[in-house]
Every structure is written in C-alpha cells, then in structure tokens.
Chains A and B, each alone.
Chain A
Amino acid sequence: AQKVTQAQTEISVVEKEDVTLDCVYETRDTTYYLFWYKQPPSGELVFLIRRNSFDEQNEISGRYSWNFQKSTSSFNFTITASQVVDSAVYFCALSDDILTGGGNKLTFGTGTQLKVEL
C-alpha cells in the first residue's frame, strides 16, 4: 500500500537559514506523482510542485528546490534563505491510485510545521 512519511513534525529556524523538509514514500507502482503543498495559518493548501516518477531532474523555483531520488524513494524540499513568510505546514503527497472515473487519489504525509523566526 502507498505511504508517505514526513518524519520531521516541527522545524524551527532563524530567518535566512536554509532548511530541508524530508519526504519518503512507498509505492509498488512504477508510474506515480509526487506533490508538495504549503498550508499557511489561513488554512488553505497551496500547490507548490508536482513531479512524475519518470522525471528525476531536480527543480528550482526561486528560493525553493526539490530533490527527487527514486533510489531512496525520497522527494525532499529545500528552502534557501528562509523568510518569516515561509512559516507554514508543508505536506508531501503521493498519487498512484487511479480513482473510479479517472483522476488520482492523493496519499498525504502528516505534515511538517516550519517556523521561521527573526
């Protein structure tokens, strides 16, 4: 069965530090998608990135970067030069189940609470 583990429950850093959020997944499928979402205190989950299992190229978007390694079943997320506005809960999710009628089911990790302090 699919599973997503985010072992870090809470991380606290000082502004401008780099921080990496870990995500380890389990799946038997060869075709799957991985996602990261951000949940600020307002509550809404904001989509950050989607990566499919055939694309192991790392991605950088501004201060955000993602490291996908199939060999270790990991999809880690790094924030460079963190800012107070980065404070949020971050969720990693796996999509490998095809739902009835099409579309994919998401399996979420339990989230990592990131606190960035001045």
Chain B
Amino acid sequence: DVKVTQSSRYLVKRTGEKVFLECVQDMDHENMFWYRQDPGLGLRLIYFSYDVKMKEKGDIPEGYSVSREKKERFSLILESASTNQTSMYLCASSSRGVGQETQYFGPGTRLLVL
C-alpha cells in the first residue's frame, strides 16, 4: 500500500513565524504535490515537484515555497505565516508512468495561524 505521511496533524503558529510542513512517501514516486483545502473551494494546488530539486508552481503559490532534497520528502514552507494561510494542507504523491496517474494523499495538516 502507498503510504504518505505528514509530520503534524495539527499546528498552531503566530503571524510572522516561519512554518515547515513535511511530507514523506514510501513508494518511490517521482511526483509530489502540496494542496490546500478550504471550505467551498475544494483542493487547490500550491506547488508540485516531479524530481529531486525540481519544483513547479501550481495555482496558488504566493506566500509559499517548497524544497525537495530527497525523492521521498517534499517540504512546504511558509516564510512568514499570515492568518489567511490558516487552512488544511494535504500532500500527495504519484508515479509518473502512463496509467499511474492516481495521486495518493497523506492525512493532512490543519494549520491555524493566530
């Protein structure tokens, strides 16, 4: 079974803090993704990575950065957290092969920025 884990289920941070959200997958997937989920908006793609050290912006990258130093790990960074970044953050991974497009998700991190 595909296993995607996220470092925290719940986080509470102060405005202006630097926040790291970590994601690890154990299926040797090439692609990894970060989404945020907000009521009434569904899931929106923040960033994705298709290889180590490679990253691409998604639909809402503003205020975020990412890091992928190892294939199994993909980090989302909030350089200076703001209250409008209070949300549920979901990490996903997928293989790159044809017919392997299914994305598998982690349990999510609920971030509250005060």
Q: How many residues of A contact B (CB 8 A)?
A: 25
* A47-B102, A50-B102, A99-B56 known; A105 vs B107 contact (CB < 8 Å): no
Inter-subunit contact A101/B108 (CB<8 Å): no
Chain B contacts of A101 at CB under 8 A? 30-31, 50-51, 54, 56, 96
> Are the CB atoms of A108 and B43 closer together than 8 Å?
yes
Interface range, B side: 20 to 34
A102 in contact with B96 (CB, 8 Å): yes
Contact A99 B50 (CB under 8 A): yes
Complex Cα distance, B39 from A91, in Å, reads 12
Residues of A within 8 A of B90 (CB): 43, 45
A111 cross-chain contacts in B, Cβ below 8 A: 42
Please state if A43 and B108 are interface contacts (CB–CB under 8 Å). yes
Query: Digit string of A33-46 for contact with B (CB within 8 Å is 1, else 0)?
Result: 10101000011111
Chain B proximity mask over A12-52: 1 for CB below 8 Å, otherwise 0 = 00000000000000000000010101000011111100100
Beyond A101-B31, A109-B42, 10 additional pairs, beta carbon < 8 A:
A4-B42, A45-B43, A45-B90, A45-B105, A46-B105, A50-B101, A100-B54, A101-B50, A101-B56, A103-B30
A interface residue numbers (CB < 8 A to B): 4, 33, 35, 37, 42-47, 50, 91, 95, 99-106, 108-111
| Closest A-B pairs by Cβ, 6 of them | A101-B50, A45-B105, A43-B108, A102-B96, A103-B31, A108-B42
User: What is the interface of chain B, defined by CB distance below 8 A to chain A?
Assistant: 9, 30-31, 40-45, 48, 50-51, 54, 56, 58, 88, 90, 92, 94-96, 101-108, 110
